[in-house]
Amino acid sequence: METAILNTPLGFTQIEGNENGIASITVFDEDLQSDIVPEVLQDAVYQLQEYFEGKRTSFDLTLNPQGTDFQKRVWTALQQIPYGKTTSYLELSKTLGDVKAIRAVAAANGKNPLWIVIPCHRVIGSNGDLTGYAGGLHRKKWLLNHESPVKQQSLF
For the chain, the structural domain boundaries read: 2-52, 69-147
Query: What does the buried/exposed string (b/e) look like for 25-45 if buried means 16 or more CB atoms within 10 Å of the residue's CB?
Result: bbbeeeebeeeebeebbebbb
Say whether pLDDT at 62 is over 60: yes
pLDDT digits (tens, 9 = 90+) for 3-16: 999 999 999 999 99
Q: Looking at 63, 120, 123, 143, which residue is catalytic? A: 120
To the question of pTM greater than 0.85 for the whole model, the response is: yes
CA neighbor of 56 nearest in space, from 65, 66, 46: 46
CATH: 3.30.160, 3.90.25, 1.10.10, 2.60.40. Which one for 2-52? 3.30.160
Q: Distance between CA 156 and CA 153 in Å, rounded?
A: 9
Query: What does the buried/exposed string (b/e) look like for 71-96 if buried means 16 or more CB atoms within 10 Å of the residue's CB?
Result: bebbbebbeebeeeebbbbebbbebb
How does residue 155 score in pLDDT terms, banded at 50, 70 and 90? low
Question: What's the fold here for domain 69-147?
Answer: Arc Repressor Mutant, subunit A (1.10.10)
SS3 45: helix
CA neighbor of 118 nearest in space, from 30, 48, 28: 48
How does residue 127 score in pLDDT terms, banded at 50, 70 and 90? confident
State yes or no: is 120 an active-site residue.
Answer: yes
